[in-house]
Chains A and B, each alone.
Chain A
Amino acid sequence: AQKVTQAQTEISVVEKEDVTLDCVYETRDTTYYLFWYKQPPSGELVFLIRRNSFDEQNEISGRYSWNFQKSTSSFNFTITASQVVDSAVYFCALSVPMYSGGGADGLTFGKGTHLIIQP
């Protein structure tokens, strides 16, 4: 069974501050995928990034960066110079590939971190 823990329920920062959202995962599979999704008030989940278990390179996309560390089972997300439009609930998720074990590959989500960026 898989598990994703997002210990930070809510984070509030002032615009332009940097903020890091923590994610810790558990799985016995050696091949897995990690994701971050953003959920604005409208409710639709917006895909941000996918990382497979064999690729520990950190990634940067504009103001967003991700730090994947298998040694600590963590996949943290940092927003640099935060903006009000970044306000949303952010979810970390884990899945095992469809053909590993022959079953479905439903995502296991954490409970989410509500990020509030104050102007």
Chain B
Amino acid sequence: ETGVTQSPTHLIKTRGQQVTLRCSSQSGHNTVSWYQQALGQGPQFIFQYYREEENGRGNFPPRFSGLQFPNYSSELNVNALELDDSALYLCASRPRGRTYNEQFFGPGTRLTVL
């Protein structure tokens, strides 16, 4: 158990729609990252939030956006969904004071875009 939860577990959307995925971290986890894992691939870094601000982004377009809240929860929003957005979305958080990048992953949300 990592103490990181994600909702929903599964989600089906159609192309062009918008989706919001949620992540809840343990108290004190002030850094959260989001990853996209396509079938048969390794996770790819989308972006990271630190103290409620985005402080880094991977190779993903602006229609992928996020929020981090003071209660250690966060959201990933994806606009104008495309078929290639179908994937497992993972969030990972790190406790305050941990400077060596040990990230705790949630179980993921599987998004299917039809």
Which residues from chain A sit less than 8 Å from chain B, CB to CB?
4, 6, 33, 35, 37, 42-47, 50, 52, 91, 93, 95, 97-99, 103-112
Contact = CB atoms under 8 A, between A and B. Distances in A.
Interface string B75-114: 0000000000000101010000001111111111010000
A11 to B, nearest CB: 15
10 contacts: A43-B88, A43-B107, A44-B105, A50-B101, A98-B50, A99-B99, A105-B48, A107-B43, A107-B103, A108-B45
B44 interface: yes
A105 B107 contact: no
Contacts of B107: 42-44
Contacts, number: 79
Given A104-B55, A106-B45, A98 B101 contact: yes
A105 B47 CA distance: 9
Q: Is the interface of A mostly helix, strand, loop or mixed?
A: loop
Q: Is the interface of B mostly helix, strand, loop or mixed?
A: strand
A37 B42 CA distance: 11
Interface of B: 2, 31, 33, 35, 40-45, 47-48, 50, 55-58, 88, 90, 92, 99-108, 110
Contact of B106 (A33, A44, A91, A104): A44
Contacts of A91: 42-43
Contact of B108 (A44, A52, A108): A44
A52 B99 CA distance: 11
Contacts of B55: 103-104
Contacts of A93: 42
A105 B101 contact: yes
Contacts of B35: 106-107, 109
B102 to A, nearest CB: 6
Contacts of B104: 47
A24 to B, nearest CB: 14
Contacts of B99: 97-99
